[in-house]
Amino acid sequence: MKALLDKLYMQNSLEKDGIVYLLKNLDEEHKENLFEYSHKTRLKYYGNKVFMRGLVEFSNICKQDCLYCGIRVSNPGVERYRLMPDEILTCCQEGYQLGYRTFVLQSGEDFWYTEEILTDIIKRIKERFQDTAITLSIGERSEEVYRNLFKAGADRFLLRHETASRELYQKLHPTMDFDNRRDCLKTLKKIGYQVGAGFMVGLPGQRAEDLAEDLIFLKELEPDMIGIGPFIPHNATPLKDAIGGTVEDTLVMLAFTRLLVPDCLLPATTAMGTLNPKGREMALKAGANVAMPNLSPTNVRAKYELYENKICTGDEAAHCRQCIEKRINSVGFQVDMGRGDSFKYQKKCYNNKY
């Protein structure tokens, strides 16, 4: 087992059989070894910096019907909301004053926000806050829309692949298509976005082999960002009685991801903090290097409920900013409020310059 971990650390690569073997046999001693290697790799590429993003959850309306999601279209118990463009700008204004230089605009798949509306929002943000980056997380759109949003000034796009298992994907996403999801990621990368993918840990029916496929897919895609979090059941979904994922298993996947895609940006997700009060700090020590405090108005935060018991829904933006910085500092890391571009993107810009 130690030989496999050493190879993973030294070569940033491992065959599927080796990954599956480790996932099935990892004991506490070798888990600590894995975390040590992932921490060292993170320090090699990004030092002790943790990049802060200001998250604006601007709509909980979604046309999709994913079996695990609290805002799925067939959940009648959701109090739906949309932020108007001026409200989104106000959130960004507050975030900018708090020091944020990346705004993550996230929503369900809400097509009320047409290409024209989204383009206008992006241009207004970029005109007002010229030294910022904009990350979109709005789901599947056409290549033409993706291109035009990029031209308007969007820098990054988060689109979790959710699972690399075709069978599991189709079972959990009855209104979506496995191949289209992957095609969207390839298109976004081709256009020039800094691209984010990712998956959930602990999905019903998920096997070690499926998680290994997730890691292999990410190794091949080489995204700039990778979002990984535990599956947390929501009481208003078909999976309400399923057993959820764990912090411990998610930490292992974060560490594997850091070693296989060493230059990626890796968030310590709110879901980790929901399952364990120190979950985000544990994620940082396992290789994560991004935090995304919430800038959404407090009167809508609890309505963006992908899973239940989500933390920080009542905190003001300034409090979120101060709280997460204290947490980051408490485990030996330093906040970086800059754009926080990926190592891969910085390298590409350097090569193009020279």
Distance CA 327, CA 333 (A): 9
Residue 88's CB: how many other CB atoms inside 10 A? 22
> What is the domain extent for residue 147?
2-353
Q: Which tens digits make up the pLDDT trace of 279-314? A: 999 999 999 999 999 999 999 999 999 998 988 888
Q: What mean pLDDT comes out for the span 171-180? A: 98
- What is the CATH classification number for the domain harbouring 168? 3.20.20.70
Q: What is the pLDDT of residue 352?
A: 75
CB of 169 closer than 8 Å to CB of 163: yes
Q: Which tens digits make up the pLDDT trace of 186-231? A: 999 999 999 999 999 999 999 999 999 999 999 999 999 999 999 9
Distance CA 90, CA 266 (A): 27
CB of 155 closer than 8 Å to CB of 105: no
CA distances from 56 to 163, 299, 310, 350 (A): 25, 13, 15, 30
- The CA angle 166-172-176, to the nearest 5 degrees, is 75
Q: Which tens digits make up the pLDDT trace of 318-333? A: 888 899 999 999 999 9
Distance CA 245, CA 113 (A): 33
The torsion angles phi and psi of 145, rounded to 5 degrees, stand at: -65, -45
Domain count, the chain: 1
Distance CA 348, CA 197 (A): 19
Cα 208 to chain centroid, rounded: 21
Residue 354 has pLDDT above 60, yes or no: no
Mapping DSSP to helix (H, G, I), strand (E, B) and coil, where does residue 82 land? strand
pTM of the model: 0.97
Q: What is the pLDDT of residue 62?
A: 98
Q: Letter for the amino acid at 310?
A: K
Distance CA 84, CA 76 (A): 23
